[in-house]
Structure 1
C-alpha cells in the first residue's frame, strides 16, 4: 500500500505502534518496523541515557525506519531531545504538550514530527506549529487521554475535514477491520497501542499482558482527569481512586494517592493490585499474546477480508 503515511515514514504499511510507557522498548519497536510498520520507542518511561541505549539497540535490530514517542510532560525533556538529535533519529511523535515548543527545533534537524491530539482544536494548533502529521486519538485509548471524551468515530472525520496534513487514527483499534473503518473515515493510517502491549516483544510484565487478555467489556475506565486523564484496568488501586472521589478528594489528595512510579509498579513489575494498569478500552477484544510478526499478518488478513466484505455492499 502506498499513501501519504507510508510515503512520509518510508514504511510498507500505514500501521504505527504506539510508544506506550513500560511496553515500548527496542525489542518491540524493531519487531514492528521489521514487519513493515513503524515502531516507536516509548521515551516516557526512560531516563535519557536509557533511551540512548534503546536507540542504539534498535539500530542494530532493524534497518527499517523507527521513531521515538516523547511525552512533553516529563522531566529531562531537552536532554531527551538532544539525544534524539545526536543519535540521528528521523521520526519523533510528541504528545501531552504544546507542539509549538519543540517542532521547529526538531524539524531544523531534519526530523519528521507528528503530534498526538485529542480534539480538533489541538489538531489545528499542531498543524499551525508545522508538524508533518497528527495522531487523532479518541478517548477509547489507554494511557494519557483527552478530557472531552470524544470517541474515535467522531474525532477522525472532524479532524480530517479541517486539516491539510495526514491524519493517523488512534484509540480503540486492535483489528484489521477497525483499521479499515478508521481509513474509511479519512485517516491515512492508524496508531495501535494496546494490541501491541499484548505481544511477546513488549517489555511490559507478563502478568500485565495476561490481565489484558482476561479483560472484558467494561474492564477499563477513564479517571484522574484533574491530573492527567488516564484509562486504567479496574483493580485495587483503581478502587482506591474511586473511594477517594467518593470522599471528596482534592487534586492534592489524588497526587498523594498516585505517588511515584505507580505505572512502573503495575505495568513493568507486574503488581496487579497496587499498580497503575494503563490500557485501552479495546482490551476487551484482545484474547492472546502473540509475536509481532504474527500480529501484523493477522491485521493485514483481517483488513483484506473486511475490505472484500465491504466491496459487496451496494446502496444504489
Structure 2
C-alpha cells in the first residue's frame, strides 16, 4: 500500500505490544511511505507508547469517547506522529475536533467488520465537513470503486478509506477461501452472531453457514447458540471456535467458510484479486474519469 502511494493500515488492538513493534519496524524497513496503526478504544491501547517509540507515523483511534480522545490525541502528537479519530455522526465529529486531531475518519454503517455507525455515510459526511473548519475528513464504509471515491470527495472529504476491497489483493494475508468468497458475494448482514471476543459489538459480514444456523435457531445468545464451542479452525497451536470474531488468515486450516467473513456493502464491486499497486492505480484512474 505505502509503496504504491496509499496509506496502509494495521490493526494492533488485539496484538501483543512486542509483536506490534516488530510489525512497525518491518514496514518502516520496507517503505518510506506512510502507514497507520489503529487502536480500538473499547480496549486499553497497551501498545500505544511502544509503537510510537518504534516510529509509527500515523495512529488512528476508533470506538473511543470524548475524554479518551483528549488523552490519546495529546500523547500521539507529543510523540511527533499524526493522529486521526473515527467518528460516526456530526456531533461526534464536533466533539472530537475539540481535541484538535490531525484528521477525522467518518465511518458509515456500510463498513465491514465491527461497525460503530448506525447511519449511512452520505447522510452525515457533509455535516462533518461543515463543522471541521478545514480539518481533513476521510470517508469510510462500503467504498470499493473509484466512482464511489469520487462521490465521497464531491461531498467535501479529503480522501477515502477502503478496507474490504484491499482484503482481496494478492499481498493481503487473508485466507484464499475468504478472498474467493469476496469475489462471489453481493450481500452483507449487520449482526451480533460473531461476538466471541467482543460481546455485544455489531459487525458486518457475508452470510455463511454459521450465520444461517444461528438465525434459524432464533438468534440465541451465548452459550446457547448452535454448536457453541466447536473448533472450526486450527492455526499452529491456536484454535478458533465457532462464533469467534477472528477473520480467516493464511495458515489456518479447517472449516474456513464457517468463520467470521467480514465485508462492507461494496463487496458486490469486487471481481478480482489484483496486486495492491495495480488496484491503487485502477482506483486512481476511476476517480479521475
Same fold per superposition (TM over 0.5):
yes
RMSD of aligned residue pairs (Cα, Å): 2.4
| CA distance in structure 1 between the aligned counterparts of 2:286 and 2:279, rounded to whole angstroms | 10
How many residues were matched structurally? Answer: 266
Contact 1:235–1:272 (8 Å) recurs in 2: no
Equivalent position of 2:20 in the other structure: 51
Contact 1:68–1:93 (8 Å) recurs in 2: yes
More helix as a share of residues: 1
| CA distance in structure 2 between the aligned counterparts of 1:276 and 1:138, rounded to whole angstroms | 20
Equivalent position of 1:310 in the other structure: none
Equivalent position of 1:264 in the other structure: 246
How many Å apart are 1:251 and its aligned residue?
A: 7.3
Please list the CA deviations of residues 23-71 of structure 1 after superposition, one character each: whole Å capped at 9, or x if unmatched.
Answer: xxxxxxxxx1111111112213522222111111101110122221112
Contact 2:36–2:56 (8 Å) recurs in 1: yes
Equivalent position of 2:201 in the other structure: 228
Residue 110 (str. 1) matches residue 80 (str. 2) = yes
* The one of 13, 16, 30 aligned to 1:61: 30
- Bigger drift between 257-266 and 276-285 goes to 257-266
Equivalent position of 1:313 in the other structure: none
Contact 2:40–2:64 (8 Å) recurs in 1: yes
Residue 204 (str. 1) matches residue 174 (str. 2) = yes
Q: Quick one: structure 1 residues 85 and 258, their matched pair in 2 at CA, closer, same or farther if it must change by over 3 Å?
A: farther
Residue 161 (str. 1) matches residue 145 (str. 2) = no
Q: Quick one: structure 1 residues 258 and 103, their matched pair in 2 at CA, closer, same or farther if it must change by over 3 Å?
A: farther
Equivalent position of 2:39 in the other structure: 70
Contact 1:152–1:172 (8 Å) recurs in 2: no
Moved over 6 A (4+): 258-261
Structure 1's unaligned 5+ residue stretches are 1-31, 306-316
Q: Quick one: structure 1 residues 176 and 103, their matched pair in 2 at CA, closer, same or farther if it must change by over 3 Å?
A: same
How many Å apart are 1:158 and its aligned residue?
A: 2.1
Q: Quick one: structure 1 residues 116 and 241, their matched pair in 2 at CA, closer, same or farther if it must change by over 3 Å?
A: farther
Residue 304 (str. 1) matches residue 288 (str. 2) = yes
Matches within 5 A, 1:128-277: 128-148=98-118, 150-164=119-133, 165-216=135-186, 219-224=187-192, 227-243=200-216, 246=218, 249-250=220-221, 262-264=244-246, 266-267=248-249, 269=252, 271-277=255-261
Contact 1:267–1:277 (8 Å) recurs in 2: no
How many Å apart are 1:265 and its aligned residue?
A: 5.6
Residue 283 (str. 1) matches residue 252 (str. 2) = no
What secondary structure is seen at the aligned counterpart in 2 of 1:88?
A: coil
Residue 92 (str. 1) matches residue 59 (str. 2) = yes
Structure 2's unaligned 5+ residue stretches are 194-198, 231-239
Contact 1:266–1:274 (8 Å) recurs in 2: no
Q: Quick one: structure 1 residues 103 and 267, their matched pair in 2 at CA, closer, same or farther if it must change by over 3 Å?
A: same
